[in-house]
Structure formats: structure tokens, C-alpha cells
Chains A and B, each alone.
Chain A
């Protein structure tokens, strides 16, 4: 157990659906992250939140909309996704949003877009 939980673990959705991924960290960290891993590609950073403010948006399409209501919770709202958005979505947290802090990852949500 890393102290970072993600729900759901698996999600199948149609292109017209709206769904949300949830991440919760129980570590008292101040930074949270969303990553995407597509098949045969490295982990790609999507968003970084530090003290509930978004500090990085890595050229992610607007059909992905993050929300960080407090330092323990992070959401990724999904709407009108494409089949190529099918991937593993990982959430992570760290004490601070800086390069020296190790990141603690959740188990991921496996998303399939039909």
C-alpha cells in the first residue's frame, strides 16, 4: 500500500459518455499528479497540482479536465473521449512539487474507450 488510492480500477466508456476518475492520498502531501501510460509508451505527465493550484498542464486536450478540491483529493473528469485515449491513468502525490521529492503512485485506472 502506497497511501494513494484510485477508483475505479477499470472503466469502460463510450465516446459520448462523461465519467470521472478519483484519486485520494492519505500521506499529507501537498502535490498531486495525473499521468497517462499508453501501450508501449513511457509514463507521460498530464497535470500537476501544488497546494490545490494547477501548476502544469502538459498540452493535454480539453476533453480531460482535472479538479483538485483539496490537497487530499484529485479528480480527472472525462468527456467525449476518443478510442486513442484508452490507457492506464496513474495518480501520484509528493510532499512538495519539486524534483527532489519522490512520488507515491496509486495503482491506476485502466480506461477503455469504445
Chain B
């Protein structure tokens, strides 16, 4: 059974703090790793799709790194703002899996206090 683990489950930070969370996935059979941001009462929104070991991607204050050999990805948020409050999901696509098959973690719920 392929499992994606995310930690921590939830995180409370103050506005201006920088934070990071982890996504762990099986290191064998790696194809791609996705990060999504899901605000309450809205649709999940794609942040990054990462495929290569050592990949680093950045969008504004949010960045992500990927280590496919050890099976983890980090998501970083620099200078958190209240509007960053959301659940951050990662999803793993295994090599040899069905087309477009993403295996999701349970997410990290981030709350940013003003």
C-alpha cells in the first residue's frame, strides 16, 4: 500500500513567522509530487508539480524542495500572512500507476494569527 505522510497535522504561527512542513512518500517508483493549497470553502489549488530530484520551485513567498532518493518534500512559507491560512496537501504519483493517479496525504492545516 502506497502511503503519503504529512507533518505536522496542524500548525499555528504568528503573522510574519516563517514556517515549513514535510511530505514523505515512497522513494521507489517515483513519478511526480504535487503540492496543493486548500482554503476553507474553496477548491484545492495547485501550487507546484515537481518531478526531478533536487528540484526547487518558488511562487511568491512559498517554495518547495524535492528529494526523491529519500522520499520527502518540504514546503516553506516565508513571512506568513493571515491569507496563507489553509490546508496544504501533497500528492504523490507513482511510476507505473494509472494515468493521473495521485495519492494524497491528509494535509497540514496552517493557521496564521494576525
A interface residues (Cβ-Cβ under 8 A, vs B): 2, 4, 31, 33, 40-45, 48, 50, 55-56, 58, 90, 94, 96-108
Contact = CB atoms under 8 A, between A and B. Distances in A.
Contacts of A106: 43
A105 B47 CA distance: 13
Contacts, number: 77
Question: Interface range on chain B: under 10, 10 to 19, 20 to 34, or 35 or more?
Answer: 20 to 34
Interface of B: 4, 31-32, 34, 36, 41-46, 49, 51, 89, 91, 93, 97-107
A99 B45 contact: no
A96 B32 CA distance: 14
A56 B98 contact: yes
B101 A45 contact: yes
B44 A55 contact: no
B100 A2 contact: no
B43 A4 contact: yes
Given A99-B31, A100-B49, A102-B49, A48 B101 contact: yes
A96 B100 CA distance: 8
Contacts of A103: 34, 46, 100, 102
Nearest to B32: A99
Contacts of A101: 49, 100
A42 B100 contact: no
Contacts of B104: 42-44
B43 A100 contact: no
